[in-house]
Amino acid sequence: MLDLSEFGRRVQVVREHLDLSQVQLASKLDTNQVLISRLENGLGASIDLLFKFVNFLNSKKLPAYQLFITPFNIDAFTKTSKIDLKSTKAIPQIQKKVSQLQTYLEKERELVAELSLIMKMMES
């Protein structure tokens, strides 16, 4: 099960993968470095900060839901693929992308439930 410590580690891995310091990420999220450090060290964070982080990832077209699933795969934050519309394989590729998008949307819905669970864990 995902706990605050593991979630914080994942946030740190993603931040480092994006080549951002804690200060830089804090600036992008309109918060301060201490709160980013607390989040990454599994000491908790406000639900507002969690939503800001998720929205930041979404604004970068990164799959925020990946933070909440096991196994965690940092490669999900870098995979991009283009479809050659002139290819005879374009329709199956588009169908696959639509399926991936549907999965992504389902995970985004689950994200709200996961954030609620994390918030409850932080309150205890």
pLDDT at 44 over 90: no
Q: How far is CA 23 from CA 19, 54, 69, in A?
A: 12, 17, 26
User: Could you read off the pLDDT of 68-86 as tens digits, one per residue?
Assistant: 887 887 777 765 555 566 6
User: Could you read off the pLDDT of 28-43 as tens digits, one per residue?
Assistant: 999 999 999 999 999 9
- Sketch the domain layout of the chain as residue ranges: 4-123
Q: What gap in Å lies between CA 28 and CA 52, rounded to an integer? A: 9
Q: Name the pLDDT band for 14 (thresholds 50, 70, 90).
A: very high
Domain 4-123 fold is 434 Repressor (Amino-terminal Domain) (1.10.260)
CB 68 within 8 A of CB 110: yes
